Amino acid sequence: MTVASPLILDVRPILMEGGEPFSDIMAAADRLAANQELKLLAPFKPVPLFAVMESRGFDHREQPIGGGDWEVVFTSRSAAEPVEDAGAAPAPTLDTRGLEPPEPLERVLATLEGMAAGARLEVYTEREPVFLYRALAERGHSIESKALGQDGFRHLIRHSGSKGQG
């Protein structure tokens, strides 16, 4: 298996100009080839990004590189962990495209409420569901996401079995 050179994204200039690099980071993650890492250079340790990227199927490692700057390398788990489980029953599907926020989030969480531990739910969204990622992480559910271009995003959510907050 050949490992591609990492895709390097330096968000320091974007932040210095007062911009918000989140969409650039998500677009870079979507452009990654199989077995390619995303190397992010930032002027601080981007801790909130770690949960978002984890929910999208990425592990990370980080290190300070001097002057308060950080290098974070995101590696996709998808090469080692397929989104689909071989032999698993098909996941029910929930298509929330066309709904206005917060309705997609509410429908996904309500659907998960009635599901058993370990059950999967396939969800389609129109845009990157940042608030859903956060809500699922708080409840211990896992999610794998894939950008579909004009068709939005496809997500496979696995119910944790926890009834905690949701």
Q: Say whether domain 7-76 belongs to CATH 3.40.720.10.
A: no
Structure tokens at 71: 């290098």
pLDDT at 162: 61
Contact between residue 141 and residue 158 where contact means Cβ atoms under 8 Å apart:
yes
Q: Find residue 66's DSSP bridge partners.
A: 69
> Minimal CA–CA distance to 113: which of 49, 60, 165?
165
Task: Please state whether the peptide bond connecting residue 21 to the residue before it is cis, i.e. omega within 30 degrees of 0.
Answer: no
**Residues 160, 75, 23, 123: is their CA dihedral positive or negative?**
negative
pTM exceeding the 0.75 threshold for the entire prediction: no
The torsion angles phi and psi of 136, rounded to 5 degrees, stand at -70, -40
Note the CATH number of domain 93-158.
Answer: 3.30.110.40
Q: How many residues does the chain have?
A: 166
Token pair 């199989």 is at which residue?
34
Counting as low any pLDDT under 70, the low residues of the chain are 1-3, 78-90, 162-166
User: Cβ contacts of residue 37 below 8 Å, gap of 6+?
Assistant: 6, 7, 73, 74, 75, 76
Output the six-digit token pair for 143: 């999610």
Residues of the chain with CATH 3.30.110.40: 7-76, 93-158
